[in-house]
Amino acid sequence: MKTIISAAIAMSAALAVPAQAQEAGTIQVKVLGSAVLPDGKIEKVNLDLVGLPAGTQTEANDNYVPTVAIEYFLANNLSVETICCLTQHDVDGVDGAAGAELVSDALLLPATVTAKYHLNGGGISPYVGAGVAYFIWLDDKPGAFAVSAGADDFNLSDEFGFVLQGGIDVPVGDSGFALSVDAKRYFIDTTARWYAGGTKVIETEHKLDPWVLSAGVAFRF
């Protein structure tokens, strides 16, 4: 019995000590595959000189892209992270103009910085975070339907928003390698403007609010 009790005490002590705790100054790089799942819903029509069909509504398509995240640990359980990725989306009509391509190949850089709190400073480490984002549209053009209706120019507004984050890092061995799963929810809008012959003919405000779900590997330095 004494042997069993001693073994139990030793095991409890081992579990109570975080393994591979992150130290201040540690850098972690993640290489992830990400599913970008935006909304794209029209929230408000500010201008409509062409007479959109009653009840017109839109939706942006999902996209799947590689993502790199760079994380700097301020303490063993506190870090800041930024991500780098590009994602491309079409916006199509779903109600009122179902199937109509209104926006084609809009290329987005979702500049993001989050502060993360790690619930365990080492070992298997779930985390939560929050931060700010600035969506930068690097390229945007009217879709085929919009062009057929006379649109010859188009733009989406760059906008600030905020983001919530949660995930988990699972170390594999003691070499600094880990598996990582991450989920982000952005809260951000954009304004879409279509032009014909230099005249703005449609302006709509869109709710983007994408989920970004990621999984991949991490390397700690």
- Report the topology of domain 22-220: Porin (2.40.160)
Residue 132 to residues 81, 188, 221, Cα–Cα distance (Å): 11, 10, 25
pLDDT in tens, the chain (221 residues): 343 334 333 333 333 334 455 678 899 999 999 999 999 999 999 999 988 888 899 999 999 999 999 999 999 899 999 999 999 999 999 988 888 999 999 999 999 999 999 998 567 889 999 999 999 999 999 999 999 889 999 999 999 999 999 999 999 988 889 999 999 999 999 999 999 999 999 999 999 999 999 999 999 98
> Residue 148 is inside which H or E element, if any?
helix 144-148
Tokens coding 155: 């733009």
The pTM score is 0.86
Query: 202: closest CA among 216, 214, 192?
Result: 192
Number of Cβ within a 10 Å radius of residue 9 = 10
pLDDT tens digit sequence for 171-194: 998 888 999 999 999 999 999 999
pLDDT tens digit sequence for 113-140: 999 999 985 678 899 999 999 999 999 9
Strands 125-142 and 159-171: antiparallel
The domain ranges of the chain are 22-220
> Residue 4 is inside which H or E element, if any?
helix 2-16
